[in-house]
Amino acid sequence: MPESGQRRSYQSVQNMDGQRQKQVPGKKFHVSVAGCTNGAHQTYVNDLKGSGQIEVISPEQSDYLVLFCPIASRVGTDIEEAMNKISGGKPIVLVVMHHTYDKDHFVPESRRLVENKDVIITVDVLFHESNMLICNRNDTAWFQVEDVLGVSPGSVFSWQYWKGVPQRLGICCMSLCS
């Protein structure tokens, strides 16, 4: 973390739309949750840790913040309230969480509603109950976050994803072991 008075050195990278975005220096992150996720955000946290990032208990110890913002009413209002609870100065990865059972649910990109200069990336993800949905939107969001963090693509395979594969394929786990 830079000393007081020093400037942070972000690296610019292009996002999927070809726009320039900043890359976070450092690996230490602090998690803030601005609402009820039923624990679904923990999948993301575990994937971050699995990719070599380090979770710390206080924002002061972190290089960047990961803010999970589940949408309870209106997207703009919920994001604004979540951002108001965060003190400035640290780069923020904003994960906007939309509760739905439909993996093809359309949500407009929330990043157009975010004007805070500390937010280096805003991604939208879909979740239902306590699980992230397995869908293209969530995969794309994860790859964008990996890119900003300078993490190798595909370095993480979430247990939440893989634990349900045998059931989705109609395979009995017991038959695999015998």
Is 11 domain-assigned?
A: no
Is 7 domain-assigned?
A: no
Here the CATH number for the domain that contains residue 56 is 3.40.50
Residue with tokens 């994937």: 47
Is 15 domain-assigned?
A: no
Q: What pTM does this model have?
A: 0.76
Query: What is the per-residue pLDDT for 104?
Result: 92
Range of the domain at 56: 22-177
Is 9 domain-assigned?
A: no
Q: What is the pLDDT of residues 27-78, one digit of tens each?
A: 999 999 999 999 999 999 999 999 999 999 999 999 999 999 999 989 999 9
Is 2 domain-assigned?
A: no
Alpha carbon distances (Å) from 104 to 26, 96, 135, 144, 162: 34, 16, 7, 19, 20
Is 132 domain-assigned?
A: yes
Q: What is the pLDDT of residues 126-157, one digit of tens each?
A: 999 999 999 999 999 999 999 999 886 654 44
Provide the domain count of the chain. 1
